Amino acid sequence: LNCLRQLQRPEYAAPQTLQVLLHQLKTYVVETETVEWHDTLVQSPLLRLMLYRSMVAFGFSLPMNEAMKVANLVVLRDYEWQPIVFVILRVGGTFSSLYMFDVTGRKLVSLVALLITAVLSIAIGGEYVDELSVVSEYHMSVICVLSQLFQFFAGLYAPSSSVYLSEAFPMSLKP
């Protein structure tokens, strides 16, 4: 109960609340110990999590990097300092999310960041619909700004996906 008290926010939780929380955790452990690995695949939290986790990889993918590179070459005529800005924004988003997890919880932060990242990636793809937009400084400057926003919000949801990954497997498969 002392461990639960230290993890609980606010720290002055009532003993009855801690007892209810302890009972919920015990029930979770009992239920997940009896679930087989093939049942986990059928219920598919792992498959949903793989889709969620694939957005983390999309932030570093070749199409996204090429879109950023072409946009920066057209608008700024160089590509030397932009990767540094992208890394700063990605790391800044990661550190911001660590604070936000404590304040609002990881679910809200990660879902909002994932939604914004998905919208930004669709918007970046929409800028490439017309072939002439590749040579347009206006369209490429829009892609520069959208890709920078994408990196920040990708940094927001990336830390939460590893926590959810640990919850996707049944207790019998965990070491």
pLDDT 10s digits, 103-133: 887 788 888 888 998 899 899 888 888 888 8
Choice between 56 and 166, residue whose per-residue pLDDT is larger: 56
pLDDT 10s digits, 13-43: 666 777 777 787 778 767 666 666 666 555 6
The model carries a pTM of: 0.69
The pLDDT value recorded for residue 119 is 93
Q: Write down the residue that tokens 């072409």 correspond to.
A: 70
**CA–CA dist 138, 116 (Å, integer):** 22
The pLDDT value recorded for residue 152 is 92
Q: Which amino acid is residue 5, in one-letter code?
A: R
Cβ contacts of residue 85 below 8 Å, gap of 6+? 148
Q: What is the mean pLDDT of the chain?
A: 77
pLDDT at residue 91 tops 80: yes
Q: Decide if 55 contacts 114 (C-beta within 8 A).
A: yes
pLDDT 10s digits, 70-82: 887 888 777 777 7
The pLDDT value recorded for residue 88 is 92
Helix and strand element counts for the chain (H, E): 8, 0
Tokens (6 digits) for 103: 């304040």
Q: Decide if 140 contacts 173 (C-beta within 8 A).
A: no
The pLDDT value recorded for residue 4 is 57
CA separation, residue 120 to residues 56, 86, 146 (Å)? 14, 15, 6
Per-position DSSP letters for 81-150, written without gaps between them? SHHHHHHHHHHHHHHHHHHHHHHH-HHHHHHHHHHHHHHHHHHHHHHTSSGGGGT-HHHHHHHHHHHHHH
The pLDDT value recorded for residue 169 is 62
